[in-house]
Amino acid sequence: MRILTGIQPSGKLHWGNYFGAMKSMFDLQDKGENFMFIANYHAMTTVSDGKQLRESTRDVALDYLACGLDPEKTVIYRQSDVPEVQELAWYLSCLTPMGLLERCHSYKDKMAHGFEATHGLFAYPVLMAADILIMNADLVPVGKDQKQHLEVTRDLAQKFNNRFGEIFKLPDAYIPETVATIPGTDGQKMSKSYHNTIELFDPSAKKKIMGIVTDSKTVEEPKDPETNSIFGLYKLFATEEEVAQMASAFRAGGYGYGQAKKELLAAYRRLFDPFKERRDALQRDPDALEDILKAGAAKARQAAAPIIEKVRKAVGL
């Protein structure tokens, strides 16, 4: 089984990305043939500063490697190092109905958030389909918000097969039901667009945790743990027993939000301090990082080669 996922380097990765996407990918590392790529072409739909794009691409690679991606088990590469992706995107574009893209939520969302209506943003799902189909992926771990893009991918694969012969497998999205929407410091979904994130290696993590918005109940008052985001976040880091303890402390009263925030900070550090050490070591050796990405790209291109060959022949080139 081939498992593939990608992430855009469009800002620093945060807890929502870790628990919503990265972790489920790491959990699958022993379950198949794994590919993970940094979608730097996709990021260009929203990032227009070259230096920033280059740095974010490197940061995402460092974050994945530090937090658990093992390059012996998972091929990690930059999207732009595999030109076959762009080539396939064009072939798919030629059979993509406009209406299919017009229905995509992500495009409409971006418009609602004031982004310029570019062709790149509009065609984003076609490029994503190309990422997936060029690697012949069976399973694509993504967040809930990407479900529609997987439907578009299947749709395009089917259209291509109908027109040119059976070349593509229809990939399945892997959206673990256990992964909830991770709340941000303001209680809304954690997202860089809402400026409510805590980054994976955030130097101001403590300040952000202490600043998590709560209601104004006093320490003495009993509280419903399910309605505050401190508890929602603590659940991600803590053991079942610790979670049960915090829940009953909240319900009993005499347990304040400040105390809960301190416990959340400690639980975060317990998980992330070792990752930070690994990240610092990787960061000190940029050549080694480049070697990992180059080796990944070579393997990805090897996997793409037979597919693009068949596709070129099928379309008449």
Contact set with ligand TRP (CB under 6 A)? 4-8, 39, 42, 128, 131-132, 140, 142, 146, 149
Give how far Cα 167 sits from Cα of 137, 170, 185, Å.
12, 10, 46
Nearest CB to ligand ADP, comparing residues 121 and 249: 121
Phi/psi for 132 (5° steps) reads: -80, -45
Nearest CB to ligand TRP, comparing residues 137 and 249: 137
Rounded to an integer, what distance in angstroms lies between the CA atom of residue 133 and that of residue 138?
A: 9
Which residues are catalytic, by number? 110, 189, 192
- The binder of 6, among ligand TRP, ligand ADP, none, by C-beta within 5 to 8 A per type, is ligand TRP
Element at 281 (helix H, strand E): helix 257-283
Rounded to an integer, what distance in angstroms lies between the CA atom of residue 201 and that of residue 92?
A: 38
Identify the residue whose tokens are 């929602």: 232
Site for ligand ADP in 267-286 (CB under 6 A): none
Rounded to an integer, what distance in angstroms lies between the CA atom of residue 223 and that of residue 215?
A: 10
| Binding region for ligand ADP (CB under 6 A) out of 129-137, 142-150, 218-226, 277-285 | 142-150
Site for ligand ADP in 13-42 (CB under 6 A): 16-17, 20-21
- The binder of 16, among ligand ADP, ligand TRP, none, by C-beta within 5 to 8 A per type, is ligand ADP
Contact between residue 152 and residue 104 where contact means Cβ atoms under 8 Å apart: yes
- Judged by CB under 6 A, does residue 146 bind ligand ADP? yes
Choice from 7, 36, 67, 300 touching ligand ADP (CB under 6 A): 7
Choice from 191, 214, 245, 259 touching ligand ADP (CB under 6 A): 191
Contact between residue 49 and residue 17 where contact means Cβ atoms under 8 Å apart: no
Nearest CB to ligand ADP, comparing residues 178 and 216: 178
Closest CA to 182 of 104, 131, 234: 234
Q: Return the amino acid letter for 147.
A: K
Contacting residues toward ligand ADP, per CB under 6 A: 7-8, 16-17, 20-21, 142-143, 145-146, 181-182, 189-193
